[in-house]
Structure 1
Amino acid sequence: MSTRTENINVLGFDWMPSPAEIKRRVPQTERAAEAVSAGRKGLMDILDRKDPRLFVIVGPCSMHDPVAGLDYAKRLRKLAEEVRETLFVVMRVYFEKPRTTTGWKGFINDPRLDDSFHIEEGMERGRHFLRDVAELGLPTATEALDPIAPQYYGDLISWTAIGARTAESQTHREMASGLSTPVGFKNGTDGSLDAAVNGIVSASHAHSFLGLSDSGACAIIRTRGNTYGHLVLRGGGGRPNYDAASVALAEKALAQAKLPLNVVVDCSHANSWKNPELQPLVMRDVLQQIREGNRSVVGLMVESFLQAGNQPIPEDLLQLRYGCSVTDACVDWKTTEKMLYGAHEALLHVLPRSKVA
């Protein structure tokens, strides 16, 4: 058969282990499964208004160093226990990074941070890290970017984001309809809500689409629909959208689409003009809205790591600063503690007492 018209721009096809093979190498454990299930149930209870607490998705912009990441996770697990009466803490573990043009695509794509793209290694190491965190008893959150990736590690995730660049993608809406986690759809990079709201509606319905089975075979995936979609406000179009007026407009958009009034505010990205030092101010504003009676805000997101700021990836990886982001700038651990302790104090006598705290 002639191949003159096929794969003209493809350099090659490298072997990739199947999801089943990666899971065999890094099997689920009973303790990890319990943490994942508890994480999902906790989030669903908040979205269903069975639990009055707020959930907080907090962690590095992206995960590039599993050692520093586990160090962070151990600290966060302790902090989560101390604020559990008002906050349900989930660690942000983002392995895939959407790029506006070019740049490091994340730990799964390039785990060695050198453009060698050992995806098979990144997938196994990424799954191993998620299992390690789950075994601490800490639920994790990630952004679903590659539609195949959830087959490899979705059983270790408790919350999923669909990003601002992919919220209007049919592929990602279909994928979200089959995910086992609650899914937050972010508003568009221009600040508009339409793509995210339409995405939530679409993902709540059943879909059939091409995908990958656990054995690695092409398959027609048929989903039941995901009823735990919700809106994430991250700002955009040159302005933030966490203020009371913006939250009210988000409530109106959700109500018009006959969706639950579930809103998450991302304290980072355009809401803080990508200045991590402003994230505490964003959180403080949203907490004040809750203190004044708002009940549509169910969660917050914070970009945080051990050290403040960010750093470029150097040629000599030994020069990397430990616990410092290689993508968007983050607040440091001390600020993270201050933010979560402050949120806990602000909500302690405002929210109804949680039955699970």
Structure 2
Amino acid sequence: MSFTFLKQLPTPEEIKQEYALSPSAKQTKAQRDKLVKDIITGESDKFLVIIGPCSADNEDAVCDYISRLCKVQEKVSDRLVIVPRIYTNKPRTTGEGYKGIAHQPDPEKRPDMLAGLIAMRKMHIRALEESGLSSADEMLYPENWPYVEDLLSYVAIGARSVEDQHHRLTVSGFDVPAGMKNPTSGDFSVMLNSVYAGQHPHHFVFRGYEVSTTGNPLAHVVLRGAVNKRGICIPNYHYEDLERLIQMYDKMDLINPAAIIDANHSNSNKQYEQQIRIVKEIMHNRKISPELRRLVKGVMIESYLEPGCQKVGEHVYGKSITDPCLGWQESEELIYQIAEMNE
């Protein structure tokens, strides 16, 4: 047999009972959920800024970063809702490399899934209770959702997961916004079909149970750029791309049409400094087009304490060990500029 069953993991209920949210944090999270939801539904004119490290590899550095975000949020609360990225699962194109704290709590040691589930939950709880900012994470493994479902105010479905049936159906059971990224091919139809699946009810098998869902009306698209057959990155955040997306949204039975623009990845050709220019272009286009202002509800930015990235084992505090990120100084300035442009 090819599988070796190493150990049985605790249930989500057992982990949540041992690592529980405080009553005050639960209340804060509910308030934050409403802020994010109201932006997606159009009830609020505020703008979402989903920002943070490519992967949350170090609890102290991540919480330090989020404590700084908290101070900025207080100053821009009339215009922006900042959602820190605490991405505890890292998709790998070839399957090699660091897979995130949920898989490897210590990037320099062997995988430990139990310790990873605990580390994942503890980091989200600490960030929420210290800063008052509930976070976003990527759902790389649908089975992990119940371990954090009471902690997240936003979930992203990655470009390589968005075509997967299990991810789509699991999203239909969420009660928070779920951003469905366009696949690496850039096909808008695939992305919108994923949103359709997420918004409608389903009946399927989940974690050993037969389940049914009611559908998630907060499922929406995330544009992250594409890669063509020659391996060249093709951005999809420009005015004409968004106009085309509006037309395609109009032809489908979808509610709450919304788009978040991922300023990095294939939109920036992984040139992380370009995120600043890209975000400014997005904000400018929203300003000149009422249609785009209604569609584009926020941006995703990869940012950490130190700019760039490092290899595992180099130990520069607050510097990404996966994709390169903007540093704190540039990120703080950019957030204030976004607030100024969201008039």
TM-score by length of 1: 0.91
Distance across 2 between alignment mates of 1:191 and 1:339: 27
Alignment partner of 1:107 is 2:97: no
Alignment partner of 1:211 is 2:200: no
Offset of residue 11 of structure 1: 2.5
Specify the SS of the correspondent of 2:310. Answer: coil
Q: How does 1:29-48 map to 2 (within 5 A)?
A: 29-48=22-41
**Could you tell me which amino acid in structure 2 is paired with residue 24 of structure 1?**
Q
Offset of residue 36 of structure 1: 1.8
Counterpart of 1:137 in structure 2 is: 132
Distance across 2 between alignment mates of 1:12 and 1:51: 48
Counterpart of 2:260 in structure 1 is: 264
Alignment partner of 1:335 is 2:330: yes
Give unpaired runs (5+ residues) of structure 1. Answer: 1-7, 213-217, 351-357
Offset of residue 91 of structure 1: 0.4
Is residue 161–residue 185 contact of structure 1 (8 Å, CA) maintained in 2? yes
Q: How does 1:25-174 map to 2 (within 5 A)?
A: 25-101=18-94, 102-135=96-129, 136-174=131-169
Distance across 1 between alignment mates of 2:24 and 2:269: 39
Deviation per CA, 1:22-62, whole angstroms, max 9, x where unpaired? 11221121122122212221111111211001111000010
Counterpart of 1:292 in structure 2 is: 288
Counterpart of 1:311 in structure 2 is: 310
Larger Rg, first or second structure (1 or 2): 1
Distance across 1 between alignment mates of 2:78 and 2:67: 19
Q: How does 1:184-203 map to 2 (within 5 A)?
A: 184-203=179-198
Identity, % of aligned positions: 33
**RMSD, matched Cα:** 1.2
Runs of 4+ aligned residues of structure 1 deviating over 2 Å after TM superposition are 258-261
Counterpart of 1:274 in structure 2 is: 270
**Could you tell me which amino acid in structure 2 is paired with residue 208 of structure 1?**
H
TM-score by length of 2: 0.94
**Could you tell me which amino acid in structure 2 is paired with residue 233 of structure 1?**
L
Is residue 77–residue 138 contact of structure 1 (8 Å, CA) maintained in 2? yes
Distance across 2 between alignment mates of 1:69 and 1:31: 22
Which moved further from structure 2: 319-328 or 58-67? 319-328
Q: How does 1:6-25 map to 2 (within 5 A)?
A: 8-25=1-18
Q: How many residues align?
A: 332
Alignment partner of 1:226 is 2:221: no
Give unpaired runs (5+ residues) of structure 2. Answer: 228-232
Is residue 177–residue 225 contact of structure 1 (8 Å, CA) maintained in 2? yes
Specify the SS of the correspondent of 1:276. Answer: coil
